[in-house]
Structure 1
Amino acid sequence: MRCLYKDEQICETGKTKLAMFHFGVIASFFVAIVLAETEQTCNSVDGFRVCHFRGVLTEVTAERSRERLEISQLNLLSIKPGAFKNLLIKSLSFADRNHISTLQPGAFSGLSKLKRLHLDSNAVTLVPNLFQELGNLESLSIIFNHINNIPAGTFHGLSKLTFLYLDENDISTINVNSFSGLPKLLYLHLSNNKIASITPASLAHLDELNILYLNYNQITEITPDTFNGLTKLEGLYLKENSLTSIPQEAFRALPALERLHLSNNKITTLHSNAFTGLSKLELLHLENNEISDIRPRAFEGLIKVEDIYLNNNKIHILPDGLFLGLTHLEAVYISQNNLTAVNNAAVQLPSSATIYYSD
């Protein structure tokens, strides 16, 4: 401090006051930190000490050995990176009365043994590398979170993930890198979203996927390239979408498919060779559509199919030879159409099969 006073005593007094001011600022800062730590609320929850401050989970430590932790009814908004102190738990849930929205990479560090994570009914915004520390995670549920975007790299590090639940969100599209980094994924749940389009081959790297749920979305079109790479898929669920037709070879990329659900769409036409490549298909649901036009050879190649559901459509006539080669066919359900009888010989219905006109 430069003294502008002739009176040295006044000058020294000014210096002292300035020093005291600086000391007061620094002291206030440290007091704020101490208060934050001392004012945080800590609870004992099923063998864990759970601390939070102003909606942020700040610290979780184990008081005794437990494998499961449910952190509920705390109205949490976020998780401080590093909050989990090397816990050995296998299951963690935030699904009851929290409002977690902002998470950063590192939020789940200290959970190297975790196998199941439930973030249902929050407001999580996905960001790249959010789960990168969870290399042993097998099941991740983020239902009812208003998610509208899946950034590339969101699921990086989840090399053992088998189940992924993203139902009941606002996802509108699936892009090429939406689900990168999931080499072991078997079950993908995307029902009750707003998906209108699936970028061709965007799921191609999910080459172990067994079941794909896309019910209750807004999908208007599928192409022969939509499901490229899903060579092990056994169940595809597309109920309650906005499909209007099934083009030729629409499912040619799914050689292992056994169950196909296309009910409750707006399908009007089944094109010839619509199901080419589905040589293992056993169950085909096409009920509750607007099908009025079934082209010849529409079911060609379905050599293993056992049940076909066509009830509640607008079918007037079945083309000759429609069921030719369907040697495993057992039942065709065709009630609530404009048909009163079918010439079994003309449509080449196998002798082992029955057509049901009423429920």
Structure 2
Amino acid sequence: MDSHFRGTLWAILILFTLPLLTCTNCPGSCLCYSNGTVNCVGDTITDMPKQLPVHTYRLKLKDTNMNVINEQSLANLPLTLRFSLTHSQLHTIHPKAFHVAPQLKSVTLSFNNLSTLSARVFSPLTSLEQLSLNGNQLKTLAPDMFEGLEGLKELDLSNNSLSSPASDVFDGLTNLTFLHLARNSIKKFPPTIFHGLTNLHELVIYYNELEVLETGIFDELVNLVHLKLHFNQITSLPPQVFWSLRNLELLTLSSNQLQAIPEKSFYNMPKLKKLTIYKNPLLSLPYQLMGHMPDMTDFYLYSTNLTTVPGNLFANMSGLQMLNFHLNDKLRELPSDLFCCVPKLVKLSLKFNDLHYLHPRLFYRLTTLRMLLLNDNKLQNLPDDIFQGLERVLAVNLKNNNLRTLPGDIFLQNTVLMTLTLSGNPWNCGCSIRGIAKWIRHNERVVFDRDDVLCHNPAYQQLRTLGSLRDEDFNFCDATRISPRYFSTQEPTTPFHIISTSRQTPAVALTTTTPTTPTPTTKQLAPQQVTIQTNTPTTKPSALHTTSPPTTLQSPTTTLPDEEFLLITKAPLSYSMSPTFYDTMVVEQGPEFVHHNRYKGWVYVWFLPSDAVLARLFMFSYVLLVAAGLLLSLAAMFYLYRLDKIMDELSGNVLQGN
């Protein structure tokens, strides 16, 4: 027991003191750690550091001036398993450089100046699991470059100048799980180049110059999980090219030159979770495109030339949560049942499309939707119940469309709505806007850009915010309105009671003129008559009910502007006017003022659009001008008086002087 106890103590002592002893041998420009890692940095390093700690497990050299790894550079590292030399001036590796370090499991030679490598230079590394040669200037790879590396799991050849790798360059790498070939100049792969990589999990080929994919190129990659093909020049896909990838979870085909995709291209991939086909000049999509994909959560389909899509495009994606279907500047129509089968959708982006119309039932099954982006389209109106099923939606963006009004109860069921964006629309603040204006007043905290939601017309409401519109601003909407029938040759059959302009104006009750013959005025009158018919209002107390005969109107020969509507009326000579309402006009409070004048038996009436604030401003200006004129008159009289006195004084002085 004593000897065993003493042995244990010696072992513990050695384990704790050995790192301390060896760290004293750490060379300059290096940092040595007790876990066996040595980091050496600096351009003063031109060769492999000498006198490294015996227990060095990981050696990392960075930003050095080393040019060559010679035959004996790694000779004194018997325990080193991971070696890296990066961001340096390395341009040559001796063909036998790794013969003295066959124990290495990881070699990283990234971002150096390597342009060529000797054939089978890595073959002695039979235990190698990771090899990184990215960020160099390699143009070609010898066919037997990786011979003997059966245990290799990760190979990074990205950021080089490879253009046409040999068909058998990866043969024998049966345990490879990660192959990175991105950012090279590869235009075409041999059809059998990946057939030996049966255990490959991730294949990265983005940012190359691929124009075609050979038929059967992925047939043996039955364990592939990630396939990244974006940012190439692929113009077409062979039929069924992805069918063997039954374990694939990620496929990126974005930023290529695809104008069409063959039918059933994405069948037999039930584990697919993310698919990107955006930034392709797609003209159409086949009806049979997507297979059963219950695990799909993210789908990206934007920046295309699509004008519409099949109604079943997302039908097999019951687990879809994120749909980015935007920036399609020709997409004008969406099938009514497009979102029928995505009950878990959380975000739907339809922004920056060319949508003019949305079907009333388009969103009604999206019961879990949280964010809906419809901004920057060309929507002119929305159905009353378009958001009816979106009871959990938190954000809706409708800005920069062509919306002029919205139904007042369109957001009635969206009780948890937190952010609504409405600016950039040409809102018409007439009677139809009353409901949504009231909703905005009661939900100001929800309308994120409420200060920029402005009226574009009518003219008297321009630049007012929808939230500033009050109920009293719409009182005139409840009055009965009529539209004059110009140039009618028939006598009216109903009494003439209320007149309003074609631009929503206040109701006016009117009985007209003395029965005399019209005298020519400054406006010439056409001989043709204009007849106006109205119905007697039943609800407005301010309208006067009279029993007056048909009234004929003379129309002026000149065309009056929209801002002025002139009515010239004359009653028949034989009719006796009511003395109580003779020449009486009642004007209800509204957004316009009515002015009239009688002249030799004729009544001239015109309607001028205005508002109360503007009227008060004009009245104040008028009073101010009158007051200023009065003050100026008084001042003039005072100065004349003073001038008269001065003249008298001067005259008196002259007389005294004589």
Q: With the length of structure 1 as denominator, give the TM-score of the two structures.
A: 0.79
1:113 aligns with 2:127: yes
CA deviations 1:227-263 (Å, max 9, x no partner) are 1311100000112111123342121132221100112
2:350 partner letter: I
2:182 partner letter: D
Counterparts of 1:1-359 in structure 2 under 5 Å? 43-44=48-49, 57-64=70-77, 65-72=79-86, 73-81=88-96, 83-104=98-119, 106-124=120-138, 125-313=140-328, 314-339=330-355, 341-346=357-362, 349-353=365-369, 355-358=372-375
CA deviations 1:97-120 (Å, max 9, x no partner) are 32231431x211221222211111
Contact 2:195–2:217 under 8 Å retained in 1: no
Distance 1:342 1:87 in 2: 67
Distance 1:163 1:176, change over 3 A: same
Alignment gaps of 5+ in structure 1: 1-40
SS at match of 2:361: helix
Q: CA deviation at 1:302?
A: 2.1
Distance 1:294 1:54 in 2: 57
Q: CA deviation at 1:214?
A: 0.9
CA deviations 1:123-159 (Å, max 9, x no partner) are 3312323212222222111112211112122112222
SS at match of 2:219: coil
Q: Would you say how many aligned residue pairs link Structure 1 and Structure 2?
A: 315
What is the match of residue 558 of structure 2? none
2:320 partner letter: V
Contact 1:236–1:260 under 8 Å retained in 2: yes
Contact 2:200–2:224 under 8 Å retained in 1: yes
Q: CA deviation at 1:207?
A: 0.8
Contact 2:269–2:291 under 8 Å retained in 1: no
Distance 1:135 1:116 in 2: 11
CA deviations 1:285-329 (Å, max 9, x no partner) are 012222213133233322222222111102111012222333333
- The structure that is helix-richer by fraction is 2
Contact 1:148–1:172 under 8 Å retained in 2: yes
Distance 1:344 1:78, change over 3 A: farther
Distance 1:317 1:224, change over 3 A: same
Q: Structure 1 stretch 79-88 or stretch 280-289: which is displaced more? A: 79-88
What is the match of residue 4 of structure 1? none
Contact 1:269–1:291 under 8 Å retained in 2: yes
CA RMSD of the aligned region, Å? 2.7
Contact 1:189–1:212 under 8 Å retained in 2: yes
Distance 1:74 1:325 in 2: 57
Distance 1:168 1:178, change over 3 A: same
1:333 partner letter: S
Q: CA deviation at 1:42?
A: 6.0
Contact 2:213–2:238 under 8 Å retained in 1: no
Distance 1:245 1:349 in 2: 30
Distance 1:54 1:324, change over 3 A: closer
Q: Structure 1 stretch 55-64 or stretch 194-203: which is displaced more? A: 55-64
Q: CA deviation at 1:205?
A: 0.6
Distance 2:128 2:199 in 1: 16
Distance 1:235 1:196, change over 3 A: same
Q: With the length of structure 2 as denominator, give the TM-score of the two structures.
A: 0.45
Distance 1:225 1:60 in 2: 50
Distance 1:169 1:43 in 2: 30
Distance 1:107 1:220 in 2: 38
Distance 2:263 2:365 in 1: 22
Contact 1:212–1:235 under 8 Å retained in 2: yes
Contact 1:319–1:347 under 8 Å retained in 2: no
SS at match of 1:257: coil
SS at match of 2:118: coil
Contact 2:154–2:177 under 8 Å retained in 1: yes
Q: How many percent of aligned residue pairs carry the same amino acid?
A: 23
Contact 1:210–1:232 under 8 Å retained in 2: yes
Distance 1:283 1:54 in 2: 46
CA deviations 1:67-114 (Å, max 9, x no partner) are 22223535424541564324322221222332231431x211221222
Distance 2:95 2:195 in 1: 26
SS at match of 1:212: strand
What is the match of residue 9 of structure 1? none
Task: Name which structure has the greater RCO, CA cutoff 8 Å, separation 6+.
Answer: 1
Distance 1:223 1:305, change over 3 A: farther
2:352 partner letter: Q
SS at match of 1:308: strand
Alignment gaps of 5+ in structure 2: 1-45, 376-396, 398-658
Q: CA deviation at 1:189?
A: 0.9
SS at match of 2:114: coil
Distance 1:222 1:277, change over 3 A: farther
2:345 partner letter: L
SS at match of 2:49: strand
